């Protein structure tokens, strides 16, 4: 079945460091891909998305490119801030059924001042 | 900007009691979903709902769970007899079309004691 695999956390970085959170997926067909962010005590917020191969989603300095050949959607940011500390979830939209979302396990990011 | 709302934000209940979690999807959306997130774990799909019937449900969504759209605005998740393992954050989501982006509510934290 369809699945999403994310790198294990937690990830601890200093402010202004470069961030990469790896995400790979297994899917039949051509899913849409998403990154969601969850700040402490809050719900899920869409960070960015990509709907087809080679699309690049971007928002708030974060980027991710839909790579069909490597089935990946890695999240990157050039310079993280303390306020980026949160849990990041990679997800795909399962187009084989009702387009339900399948989430990865989440990666906790902690940014130190 | 329209948003999905959920009530209550936190519900505490005793094992064996019935609970109803409420959601108000975005008004022109037709597809509705419930997901749950056990503390520290990934977000899992429970059920999708369209045209007043369940489109798809996961293995988690057993006979203890039911969903309903009692009027034109609310979408509810009922757990008939809660168990300790039902303690989780429950997220409602809605989308305009099957393939459309899902918008998530802030979640209801259910604590079963």
d(CA A30, CA A48): 17
Does residue B65 belong to the interface with chain A, where contact is any CB pair within 8 Å?
no
**By the 8 A CB rule, do B86 and B78 touch?**
no
Residue A72 DSSP class: B
Average pLDDT rounded to a whole number, residues B104-109: 94
- Kindly give the pairing relationship between strand B19-24 and strand A32-38: unpaired
pLDDT digits (tens, 9 = 90+) for B25-35: 999 999 999 99
Tokens 């849990």 found at: A87
d(CA B9, CA A13): 32
The confidence score (pLDDT) of residue A29 equals 80
**For the CA atoms of B57, B63, B64, B66, what is the dihedral angle to 10 degrees?**
50
φ and ψ of B84, to 5 deg: -55, -40
Nearest CA in chain B to A91: B43
Average pLDDT over chain B reads 94
Tokens 């393992």 found at: B85
Does residue A98 belong to the interface with chain B, where contact is any CB pair within 8 Å?
yes
The confidence score (pLDDT) of residue B1 equals 77
**By the 8 A CB rule, do A50 and A108 touch?**
no
Q: Which of B29, B96, B102 to mutate to test the interface with A (most CBs of A within 10 A)?
A: B102
Q: How confident is the model at residue B68 (pLDDT cuts 50, 70, 90)?
A: very high
d(CA A100, CA B102): 9
Residue A68 has pLDDT above 90, yes or no: yes
3-state secondary structure of B29: coil
Q: What percent of chain B has pLDDT over 90?
A: 84
CA distance B99 to chain A (A): 6
Put simply, the answer to whether A105 touches B102 (Cβ < 8 Å) is no
Does residue A107 belong to the interface with chain B, where contact is any CB pair within 8 Å?
no
Q: How confident is the model at residue A25 (pLDDT cuts 50, 70, 90)?
A: very high
The confidence score (pLDDT) of residue A43 equals 82
Percentages helix, strand, coil for chain B (3-state, rounded to 5) are 5, 50, 45
pLDDT digits (tens, 9 = 90+) for B31-52: 999 999 998 888 999 999 999 9
């Amino acid at each position: 079945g369809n699945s999403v695999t994310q790198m294990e956390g937690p990830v601890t970085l200093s402010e202004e460091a470069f961030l990469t959170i790896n995400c790979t997926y297994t899917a039949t067909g051509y899913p849409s891909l998403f990154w969601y962010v969850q700040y402490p005590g809050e719900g899920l917020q869409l960070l960015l998305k990509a709907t087809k191969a080679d699309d690049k989603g971007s928002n708030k300095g974060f980027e991710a490119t839909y790579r069909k050949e490597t089935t990946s959607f890695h999240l990157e940011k050039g310079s993280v801030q303390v306020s980026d500390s949160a849990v990041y979830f990679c997800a795909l939209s399962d187009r084989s059924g009702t387009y339900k979302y399948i989430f990865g396990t989440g990666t906790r990011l902690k940014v130190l001042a | 900007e329209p948003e999905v709302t959920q009530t209550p934000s936190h519900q505490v209940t005793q094992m064996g009691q019935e609970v109803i979690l409420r959601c108000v999807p975005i008004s022109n959306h037709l597809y509705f979903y419930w997901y749950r997130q056990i503390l520290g774990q990934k977000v899992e799909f429970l059920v999708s709902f369209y045209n007043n019937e369940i489109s798809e449900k996961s293995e988690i969504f057993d006979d203890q769970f039911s969903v309903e759209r009692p009027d034109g605005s609310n979408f509810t998740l009922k757990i008939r007899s809660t168990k300790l393992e039902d303690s989780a954050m429950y997220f409602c989501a809605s989308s305009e079309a099957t393939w459309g982006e899902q918008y998530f509510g802030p979640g209801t934290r259910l604590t079963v004691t």
